[in-house]
Structure 1
């Protein structure tokens, strides 16, 4: 897990590259390196996870020194790929395997990779850059093209440091406030900064950018058209789940995992402890707030009592929020999910202190097994546990409202449920969660792995008929049956709990002065014309008086102001 950066073209500049590398140092505290030659600058910040030797540092050259790679992520099946390649390997790293795979198979190597990745390869002979992201976009890649120069980096702030003006993308911000959209897969909240969507590759040659989609999920799903029996799918999925978690334990540094009281964490806990005694002793991490209405600690402790993993409890307190929010904002670069994200960030801080540099979590099960309430209730809202709309269009000026664009998502399937799942996998839930989590893990120089987002699992579960996903009104029914074989029914069949922190209560009471400060800052900022300040204040007063079914709109204002200071 690392940070990558680069400048290609007439504007290549070693001093600028050094600045970009410095900005991303938190992503790779173990070493940094640069390549500056013939119109190309490549930078790398390394967090050493596999092959800890200096020989695996980057930028990394092939044996001919024609190809140079900078790589962020992990190729989990690198040992299997290595056995297929006839190559004179000089390290035990997955970086070298990735480069060798590209040299042998070209772009087609992407389909052979099981991992999370964003990487760039410079062909010093053809003067061509090739870059790609993993199927679901677990690892980020941002870019800017200006005149005859192409800039790329793992974080947006790095491109701002390279000289790209920090100016808001007004349409994306407007759509965020009106519809809760975080932008389309190629967009960011900042003008002239784009992201390469997950499952896409990019080429830059002769000052021209070419982008193509290499992972066409809709086409992959067609391979599963032949219906299998319930028991056959259950057996196949269970075997893949074990393999996915086993692959993600490949590491030369200590591994731990994150748990909550939900089904997905239960599945992770159960299968981690099937992998052998040495893995049953690894640390489990969870957060709590000392509020019994929201804390999942009792369920977590019940789960852990069955497996006896060491449990590390991390407390978030209201008094920490103001300073912690400032810190996390500076690493996120774009809006994020509120107090749960802050609480989650403390887990990675604690893991780093414990010397645990790799953590696994349970992201991705709801999307593949149709676990969200709105899949069956058809409410349309992406925020669970609220009745009224979480957005407050009335606090915005006509100027901003007119810029907002309601997102329209592709519907490649005939089935409405599949289209909702597809939307959440590639446009809404998963992309935003992966961004939040990448930034908070990298803030503390730790690596987060998502075993349930193994493409084999997602494709298999997604392609199953609805009666395999929802049975007698119970969502994620097959997954629950699988987990119940290893943990108690009270855990396996526990209802989904969407709220994780007392955000609503804290924003009303303990953090009231903090919220007013942010609102007053907006009133006196250059963005005051985006808002109807009187309505903004009235809405917060209504919130304080009890209209607080949702607190998301309050967090939107805080987040916006802190990011635009």
Structure 2
């Protein structure tokens, strides 16, 4: 991933250019490897690059040979090899996985995003028509914001992070996932529209465990497209452990398939998945895994066990409560949110990302998305029906760009580390969201714990010729939210610190500038004050609070420890 900034139809773009470069510099942490910019007509596009694919030739903005089309991309296009074949008549200039977007635009126009398999946010400027087109991936794995200014009503601003827009824009929105903007109509329209997005839809596709397993394996394989060292974030929970296990197998397989005799290191190779599904990648020959927690945290113990089982080279890091508290201002500045759940979980991830980058790694796989797809949060055990279970899954997936995707993207990119999320692969997502939700429901009385079907898909007990993916006690370990798993005292410490910082009187007195969005706990109040130090009131509408479903009788605190089923598990 990288960082992008664009101003379309600025009133004086040449005078504005130095300011635009300074605004883009605010997100250079996202792309520390190189900076580029292009001015055409009254439009400027700026790019901060994190080089992972096409290292020597993939600098941006990317310009078409004719000079009419300029592209800025933040993301990865996993099917770029196939797209190059489809657009074989286009004179490609680089090995960048993003360059095929230009010929796709020429061929399909606003339907170009439909052809992309990946995570992305991009702006393409057509100087011939003085037109800008912007798009974001289906789920919003990659961040993108759009802004308008009352001082320059015809100008449209785009950026990877809020902090680039707050100087010039008095209206800022989180660009909606699965949508495309066209300046011709000045409209944002949806291009990704599967039936399951409708929360009233009740799917009925039968479950096939093998299909489920193979689909996730393919998703992981795609995401090992890299020419740099990579690793996995390993908490020891089900999701990250499965991703790590598959990645270890795929890394080993890719190394076995590499022919050292016929491989020419001087030849320019395309990294990625070819039409036959074979992985072409660089990086380390052995998978590296990374974990973090307070000393003695349950996640650290579980991650250590998984790493030994899958044979990864494991790196374990710890942090103190004080180190976590000291990082809060930086976390909120980079995350651009005041949501309690996001900040709790982001802080350890933020600290770990710094450690990982210091070890020379630029890309990691992470386990976000599984809980939303499979109803894995413990409060889902209180779903009154399969229909409501499905509706809540759809709602959670649709809002991932304001919650876990935002956390995974910004916590890591704060240090120039890219996180890829296999569970949110387009094909895997569509497969899982079309399954009969009765298969996903949590039914302890039947021995069906949360994410039962995902666990069962990778349970090879009845397949003696298949190497187990995980130790049995890890495969069937109960869900711990990341902010809990790093050590229960982390959340307790945050609450204690907030108790000292915020008085009862402060909490009881509404702040007019917060309108209807008044915090209900001292912890939430504390985070909102910190957010307001960095961002104007107009930025608050991009924030969503993550809370369990109240009308299911769920506890107001988002920690999984407060779910009834967690209490039952501990008691038993």
Q: Specify if TM > 0.5.
A: yes
User: What is the CA-CA distance between 1:263 and the residue it aligns to?
Assistant: 1.2
Out of 395, 399, 406, the residue aligned to residue 423 of structure 1 is 395
Change (3 A) 1:71 1:306: same
User: Under a length normalisation based on structure 1, what TM-score does the superposition of the two structures give?
Assistant: 0.78
Q: Are the aligned partners of 1:270 and 1:483 in contact in 2 as well (CA < 8 Å)?
A: no
Helix, strand or coil at the partner of 1:313: strand
User: What is the CA-CA distance between 1:554 and the residue it aligns to?
Assistant: 3.1
Change (3 A) 1:522 1:97: farther
Partner of 1:290: 295
Alignment of 1:235-314 (within 5 A): 235-277=210-252, 278=255, 281-292=286-297, 295-314=298-317
Q: Are the aligned partners of 1:286 and 1:314 in contact in 2 as well (CA < 8 Å)?
A: yes
Cα separation, 1, equivalents of 2:418 and 2:303: 22
Partner of 1:495: 478
Partner of 1:450: 421
Alignment of 1:376-391 (within 5 A): 376-378=381-383
Partner of 1:100: 103
Q: Are the aligned partners of 2:10 and 2:42 in contact in 1 as well (CA < 8 Å)?
A: yes
User: What is the CA-CA distance between 1:555 and the residue it aligns to?
Assistant: 2.6
Partner of 1:113: 116
Q: Are the aligned partners of 2:47 and 2:60 in contact in 1 as well (CA < 8 Å)?
A: yes
User: What is the CA-CA distance between 1:16 and the residue it aligns to?
Assistant: 2.1
Alignment of 1:163-242 (within 5 A): 163-164=168-169, 192-205=171-184, 209-218=186-195, 227-228=205-206, 230=207, 233-242=208-217
Partner of 2:455: 480
Check if 1:564 corresponds to 2:537. no
Cα separation, 2, equivalents of 1:70 and 1:348: 25
Q: Are the aligned partners of 2:70 and 2:126 in contact in 1 as well (CA < 8 Å)?
A: yes
Q: Are the aligned partners of 1:117 and 1:138 in contact in 2 as well (CA < 8 Å)?
A: yes
| Cα deviation code 1:4-33 (max 9, x no counterpart) | 111112433212211222111111111111
User: What is the CA-CA distance between 1:103 and the residue it aligns to?
Assistant: 1.8
Partner of 1:506: 493
Partner of 1:77: 79
User: What is the CA-CA distance between 1:324 and the residue it aligns to?
Assistant: 0.8
Cα separation, 2, equivalents of 1:361 and 1:415: 29
User: What is the CA-CA distance between 1:220 and the residue it aligns to?
Assistant: 8.3
Cα separation, 2, equivalents of 1:557 and 1:379: 32
Partner of 2:32: 29
Partner of 1:384: none
Cα separation, 1, equivalents of 2:314 and 2:300: 10
Q: Are the aligned partners of 1:2 and 1:45 in contact in 2 as well (CA < 8 Å)?
A: yes
Check if 1:349 corresponds to 2:332. no
User: Under a length normalisation based on structure 2, what TM-score does the superposition of the two structures give?
Assistant: 0.77
Change (3 A) 1:528 1:133: closer
User: What is the CA-CA distance between 1:115 and the residue it aligns to?
Assistant: 0.4
Out of 466, 480, 486, the residue aligned to residue 437 of structure 2 is 466
Partner of 1:123: 126
Helix, strand or coil at the partner of 2:71: strand
Change (3 A) 1:522 1:490: same
Cα separation, 2, equivalents of 1:49 and 1:238: 27
Q: Are the aligned partners of 2:440 and 2:452 in contact in 1 as well (CA < 8 Å)?
A: yes
RMSD: 3.0
Change (3 A) 1:227 1:7: closer
| Cα deviation code 1:186-243 (max 9, x no counterpart) | xxxxxx11121000111123xx621101101226899996744x4xx22222222111
Partner of 2:522: 554
Cα separation, 2, equivalents of 1:131 and 1:460: 27
User: What is the CA-CA distance between 1:132 and the residue it aligns to?
Assistant: 0.4
Cα separation, 1, equivalents of 2:133 and 2:327: 37
Partner of 2:409: 438
Change (3 A) 1:149 1:367: same
| Cα deviation code 1:265-300 (max 9, x no counterpart) | 2211221122142577221011111254xx311211
Change (3 A) 1:28 1:441: same
Q: Are the aligned partners of 1:521 and 1:561 in contact in 2 as well (CA < 8 Å)?
A: no
User: What is the CA-CA distance between 1:109 and the residue it aligns to?
Assistant: 2.3
Helix, strand or coil at the partner of 1:334: coil
Helix, strand or coil at the partner of 1:125: coil
| Cα deviation code 1:400-459 (max 9, x no counterpart) | xxxxxxxxxxxxxx92221111001002x5631111221111110110100110011111
Cα separation, 2, equivalents of 1:504 and 1:129: 44
User: What is the CA-CA distance between 1:256 and the residue it aligns to?
Assistant: 0.4
Partner of 1:404: none
Q: Which moved more, 1:303-312 or 1:116-125?
A: 303-312
Q: Which moved more, 1:217-226 or 1:115-124?
A: 217-226
Out of 509, 516, 529, the residue aligned to residue 500 of structure 2 is 516
Structure 1 unmatched ranges of 5 or more:
166-191, 381-413, 537-551
User: What is the CA-CA distance between 1:474 and the residue it aligns to?
Assistant: 2.6
Q: Which moved more, 1:336-345 or 1:29-38?
A: 336-345
| Cα deviation code 1:322-381 (max 9, x no counterpart) | 33111122212222423331111112111110111001011111222222233231389x
**Matched residues, number:** 476
Q: Are the aligned partners of 1:202 and 1:212 in contact in 2 as well (CA < 8 Å)?
A: yes
Alignment of 1:5-84 (within 5 A): 5-11=5-11, 12=13, 13-53=16-56, 55-84=57-86
